[in-house]
Structure 1
Amino acid sequence: MPHSTSPEPSPVDDSVLPHVPAQPLNDGPKEELFIESPDTIMSDGVSPSEAEVKQVDLEGLFDDEDSDEEFPSSAPQIKSEDISSQEPVTISAGAKASDPAVMRAFYQRLFPFRYLFQWLNHSPSPTNDFKHREFAFTLQNDAYLRYQSFPSSDLLRRQCIQQVPSRFEIGPVYSTNPRDRKTVRKASAFRPLSKELVFDIDMTDYDDIRTCCSGAAICHRCWAFITMAIRVVDAALRDDFGFRHILWVYSGRRGAHAWVCDARARNLDDSKRRAVAGYLELLRGGDRGGKKVNVKRPLHPHLERSLALLRTPFQTSVLLEQDPWGGASPAAAATTLLDLLPDAGLRAGLAKKWDAAPARPSAAKWADIDAVAASGALSTLDPRALKEAKQDIVLEYTYPRLDAEVSKKLNHLLKSPFCVHPGTGRVCVPIDTRRVDEFDPLGVPTVTQLLGEIDEWDRENKGEGGGEEEGAASQQKKVPDWEKTSLRPYVEFFRGFVNGLLKEERGGIKREREEGAEGIQF
């Protein structure tokens, strides 16, 4: 692991992020703007005005109140007034997640920048794994800033507060600082070195089989498809590839992302990433009509395990809750099921039965398949072919539908955990796979809800841990704002995940020093 043994750099002066003079946008529509250089950082078409910058008490933002005891931040510590002593953030009743004031308060008070730094840095001491990491900002006017990089979490936090991005994405670690890419003499000298292996599951890829919602809408019934996908992909990554540090994150609206953080995964090149994605890919996006699953027999052990995981959800979530072959158009729905069966005689017998009772629910029609097949009237029926066809149907309606292109490229960017989805206002929180069935996407806190919870906590606990007579000791009792809210269990889960990853990285460094770098194979 070449980046883990980097010497500790000297403290970095935060003057590397100067205020930039305003520059108007004159060319093209805002949504097509692509700004690469830090010299053209803009918000709403211009850089943050001096007045905007002065409204933010930047000197009071970088306290160490959420420092982890075992893995403290080694970024320069800025001694200043504790953020908790600021006036409560008052959010009007009509405030939206996309309001700059709301997002500024979120980055200022709630986003866990320190744990994000530890996660991406793979060490409590700054390394190139963080300093050479690409960040891409989407600003309020949809301007897209690529190749941003930061020497510390505090400076990332500062820029987020200044520019108030609606979200930011995380890219690879490059061979040189992304901000300096235009200064290298050879283009080949600026190349991606490592990045987490990522996966993206989006509910819109299930629109042809879910009956409750479509498009961006979700409900508890169709979220079951994402739950099934998480179970199958997570099991394959752990059991078949041996990965241990897999972070699942809710996308904020209708999907989930997986970040495979093991060092071995981070160092995969594009060809190996394509191989992993291909291993997990069964249904291809854009498939329309007809039978979508035709897997070879005997089944691969991965598919055998997947079927074992998916049989029960198929019965409950698909047959009972989605009812794909019943519904408002039972005749057309029944035809869809009949087209997936192998024997003409079986299809004819079932069609006759269902024409007489078209309103039969999907669970009953699924049972009818075996009942008609067992009647003995079908001399041409191959029981083995029927079993395999039914297995293929289960896979078609339950197997993960991945956006495989996201996983295949080392330089692909993906939205950071704990960003806010601008449409729903929900925070992109981690999902605990040990309790994946309990995760409620509609119950994830929104940014306005969280800021209101801070104010409520402060009112109910006014004066606690802050008496003047306690002096410096009272400052150590300050409660981080995220601990005052329903975001707390998600941040604590993320902190535990990061600590586990750092412990393994630290053990890997120790083994590398004992065995020599040539003894470590990826």
Structure 2
Amino acid sequence: MERELIFDIDMSDYDDVRYCCSGADVCLDCWPLMTVAIKVMDTALRDDFGFDHILWVYSDRRGVHCWVCDRRARRLTNEQRAAVADYFRVYNGSENNAKKVSLTGPVLHPFLARSYMEVLEVFFDKKFLCGQQLLSTQEKYEKILPIIPDESAAAELHDRWQGNRRSSIPKGDPNIVRWEQLKNMLQSGKHKRQGLRRCIEEIVFSYTYPRLDMEVSKHMNHLLKAPFCVHPKTGRVCVPIDPDRCEDFDPTAVPALSELLEELNMGTPKSDGEWEATLLGQSIKFFRSSFLQPLLKSCKVQHFTMLLLSSFVFKIVNSGSPSSSSP
């Protein structure tokens, strides 16, 4: 009858743009991609769709899960869920297609423009570009150049970056220098056209925009690990993530079941709240105060409203049509 609207984002889907890890492995250099995904999607779910009861959870190995628990989200049909998921569809990954993001139209959709200006552009320029050394070698920058639709512009940059014009190469971090050269070329002079200027945004979206497992969100019967369960391989607990402080979340510091058992065996007081004295304490408090209690309050209000409405309808049915003076 009902099911939370869920989203699944796995770090392994970013393997073509991260060079520090691959597969299920994550580190503090690539994990910020999950931080970006949380910021972009949490803002859109709240501001664009009006959802309130959203829980972000560390999947305990390679990504994050999002549970949207508002009553109207829980009652969405599969078709409606697919429509919500398609709202976030930008990245069209394909091994046979060098260009995985196509931003059409004279201007960006307001959601995409907000995501780009407030999150993606800053993260790409300040952290990801140098953190992953995206333009440091020929192998890496040859993944970016095919995104440029103008072959002459791409060839000119390739020639410059290969060192054929060493006298024109400024000193500094090659990633920053080459990125500035790319932007200057596509935003000015003979290459200053809408398609090429938009290409800069497409590169940033290709490398940083959230990559969703779309099928997880489209169907009510898809399985997903519940919050606070234990991952069978890592032994770590699926803890909630505060979207307002997601930059501070460290996946390498998430408590494991063995650590929790050791804490309990060392003399944690036996009481109903014993887990709050362990490494899970802060996660449990956040789950209760920021998610569970507001959700329960919302459910009670909705239930009380339905009771009042049912009572009103019952009285009308049993007393005949309301008089003309009735409100």
Q: TM-score range by the shorter chain?
A: 0.7 to 0.9
The one-character-per-residue Cα deviations of 1:323-361 (angstroms, maximum 9, x if unpaired) are 2222xxx12222222211233332232122111169963
Partner residue of 1:365?
178
Change (3 A) 1:374 1:226: closer
DSSP-derived class of the 2:29 partner: helix
Structure 2 counterparts to residues 6-405 of structure 1, below 5 A: 193-297=1-105, 298-308=107-117, 309-326=119-136, 330-356=137-163, 361-373=174-186, 376=189, 379=190, 381-405=191-215
Deviation at 1:317, TM superposition (A): 2.8
Q: Which amino acid aligns with 1:306?
A: S
The one-character-per-residue Cα deviations of 1:203-226 (angstroms, maximum 9, x if unpaired) are 110001011000111101111111
Change (3 A) 1:397 1:243: same
> Is the 1:323–1:363 Cα contact (8 Å) retained in structure 2?
no
> Is the 2:54–2:66 Cα contact (8 Å) retained in structure 1?
yes
Deviation at 1:484, TM superposition (A): 2.1
Change (3 A) 1:402 1:440: same
Deviation at 1:289, TM superposition (A): 3.8
Distance 2:296 2:272 in 1: 25
Alignment partner for residue 233 of structure 2, among 393, 402, 423?
423
Alignment partner for residue 221 of structure 2, among 408, 411, 432?
411
Deviation at 1:478, TM superposition (A): 3.6
DSSP-derived class of the 1:247 partner: strand
Partner residue of 1:110?
none
The one-character-per-residue Cα deviations of 1:224-255 (angstroms, maximum 9, x if unpaired) are 11111111111111111100000011011111
Length, aligned pairs only: 304
> Is the 1:445–1:487 Cα contact (8 Å) retained in structure 2?
yes
Q: Which amino acid aligns with 1:420?
A: V
Partner residue of 1:442?
252
The one-character-per-residue Cα deviations of 1:379-418 (angstroms, maximum 9, x if unpaired) are 3x23422220001111111110000100101111211111
Deviation at 1:429, TM superposition (A): 0.4
> Is the 1:341–1:347 Cα contact (8 Å) retained in structure 2?
yes
Deviation at 1:285, TM superposition (A): 4.8
The higher-RCO structure (CA 8 Å, 6+ apart) is: 2
TM-score by length of 1: 0.55
Distance 1:261 1:200 in 2: 15
Change (3 A) 1:258 1:374: closer
> Is the 2:133–2:175 Cα contact (8 Å) retained in structure 1?
yes
DSSP-derived class of the 1:339 partner: helix
DSSP-derived class of the 1:259 partner: strand
> Is the 2:92–2:101 Cα contact (8 Å) retained in structure 1?
no
Distance 2:83 2:272 in 1: 46
Higher helix share: 2
Alignment partner for residue 484 of structure 1, among 277, 285, 295?
277
DSSP-derived class of the 2:211 partner: coil
Partner residue of 2:322?
none
Partner residue of 2:302?
508
Distance 2:312 2:195 in 1: 51
Structure 1 runs not aligned, ≥5 long: 1-192, 462-476
Structure 2 counterparts to residues 452-463 of structure 1, below 5 A: 452-458=262-268
Q: Which has the larger radius of gyration?
A: 1
Q: Percent identity?
A: 45
Q: Which amino acid aligns with 1:273?
A: R
Change (3 A) 1:199 1:373: closer
Distance 1:513 1:353 in 2: 72
Change (3 A) 1:229 1:517: farther
Distance 2:64 2:160 in 1: 41
Distance 2:78 2:186 in 1: 47
> Is the 1:205–1:285 Cα contact (8 Å) retained in structure 2?
no
Deviation at 1:479, TM superposition (A): 5.9
Q: CA RMSD in A?
A: 2.2
Deviation at 1:518, TM superposition (A): 11
Distance 2:77 2:193 in 1: 44
TM-score by length of 2: 0.87
> Is the 1:248–1:430 Cα contact (8 Å) retained in structure 2?
yes
